[in-house]
A and B are shown apart, each in its own frame.
Chain A
Amino acid sequence: MKVEIVGGGPGGLYLAILLRRADPTIEVRVLERNAPDATFGFGVVFSEETLGALRDADAETHLAITDTFARWDRVDIRYRGRLLSSRGHSFSAIARTRLLEILQRRAAAVGAELRFGVEVDALPEADLVVGADGVNSFVRRQRDFGTRVAPEGSKYVWFGTDLVFDAFTFVFRETEHGLFNVHAYPYDERMSTFIVECPEPVWRAAGLDEMDEGESLAFCEQLFARELRGHELLSNRSLWMDFLKVENRTWHDGNVVVLGDAAHTAHFSIGSGTKLALEDAIALANALERRGWDVEAALVDYELERTPAVERTQTAASESAGYFRRVGSYAHLEPLQFAFNLLTRSGRITHATLGVRDPHFTRVLDAWLAGGARELEPAPLFTPLRLGDLTLANRLVAAPDAPVAAAGVVLTGFVAVSPEGRITPETPVVDEWQPPPGTVALQLGHAGRRGATAPHALGVDVPLHEGWPLVSASPLAYAPYAAVPRELDEEGMEVVRDAFVAGAERAAALGVAVVELDLAHGYLLASFLSPLANRRTDEYGADRLRFPLAVFDAVRAAWDGVLAVRLSVADGARGGLTVDDGIAVARTLAARGCDLVHVEAGQTVADDRPEYRRGFLTALSDRVRNEARVLTLVRGHLTTPDEANTIVAAGRADLCILDLPPARIETPGEAARVGAPAREAVRR
Chain B
Amino acid sequence: MNVGVGLPTTTPGASGELVLEWARRAEAGPFSSLAVLDRVAYDSLDPFASLAGAAAVTSRIRLATMVAVGPLRPTGLLAKEAASVHALSGGRLTLGLATGARPEDYEAAGADARGRGRRLSEQLAYLRAGIDAERVGPARDGIELLVGGGSGPAFARMARYADGYAHGGGPPRAFASAATRAQAAWRDLGRPGEPRLWGQGYFALGDAERGDEYLRHYYAFTGPFAERVVAENLTSARKLKDFVRGYEEAGCHELVLFPAVAELDELARLAEAVA
Contacts and interface: CB of A to CB of B under 8 A. Distances in A.
A binds B: yes
Interface of A: 250, 252, 297, 300-301, 303-304, 401-402, 413-414, 454, 456-463, 465, 479-481, 602-603, 606-614, 616, 635-637, 639, 659, 661-663
B184 A613 contact: yes
A307 to B, nearest CB: 10
Contact of B187 (A461, A479, A607, A637): A637
Contacts of B251: 661-663
A606 B160 contact: yes
B210 interface: no
B274 interface: no
B121 A480 contact: yes
B204 interface: no
A589 B194 CA distance: 35
Q: Could you tell me the dominant secondary structure of chain A's interface residues?
A: loop
Interface in B177-202: 180-185, 187-194
Contacts of A611: 152
A669 B192 CA distance: 18
Contacts of B182: 612
Contacts of A304: 227-228, 231
B125 interface: yes
Contact of A481 (B129, B184, B194): B129
B110 interface: no
Contacts of B184: 612-614, 616, 636-637, 659
A462 B128 contact: yes
B167 to A, nearest CB: 14
Contacts of B125: 461-463, 479-481
Contact of A613 (B126, B180, B187, B189): B180
A612 B155 contact: yes
B162 A465 contact: no
B183 A637 contact: yes
Contact of B180 (A480, A635, A637): A637
Contacts of B189: 456, 460, 603
B228 A454 contact: no
B198 to A, nearest CB: 15
A610 B190 contact: no
A301 B230 CA distance: 12
Contacts of A614: 180, 184
A602 to B, nearest CB: 8
A461 B125 CA distance: 8
Nearest to B173: A308
Interface residues of B, number: 39
A480 B160 CA distance: 12
A401 B186 CA distance: 11
Contact of B183 (A413, A463, A659): A659
A546 B193 CA distance: 37
B162 A459 contact: yes
B60 interface: no
B122 A662 contact: no
B190 A662 contact: no
B194 A480 contact: no
Given A481-B125, A662-B251, A609 B153 contact: yes
A297 B155 CA distance: 33
B16 to A, nearest CB: 36
B156 A608 contact: yes
A614 B231 CA distance: 28
A460 B121 contact: no
A297 B130 CA distance: 49
B128 A250 contact: no
B50 to A, nearest CB: 27
B166 to A, nearest CB: 16
Given A250-B224, A459-B161, A616-B184, A609 B129 contact: no
B131 interface: yes
A636 B180 CA distance: 11
A81 B193 CA distance: 51
A462 B128 CA distance: 7
B159 interface: yes
B155 A662 contact: no
B160 A460 contact: yes
A457 B181 contact: no
Contacts of A616: 184
Contacts of A609: 151-153
A32 to B, nearest CB: 29
B191 A456 contact: yes
Contacts of B227: 297, 300-301, 304
Contacts of A300: 224, 227-228
Contacts of B180: 613-614, 637, 639
A461 B160 contact: yes
Interface in B93-127: 117-118, 121-122, 125-126
Sort A-B residue pairs by CB-CB distance and give the 6 closest, nearest first.
A637-B184, A480-B125, A612-B184, A480-B122, A300-B227, A612-B181
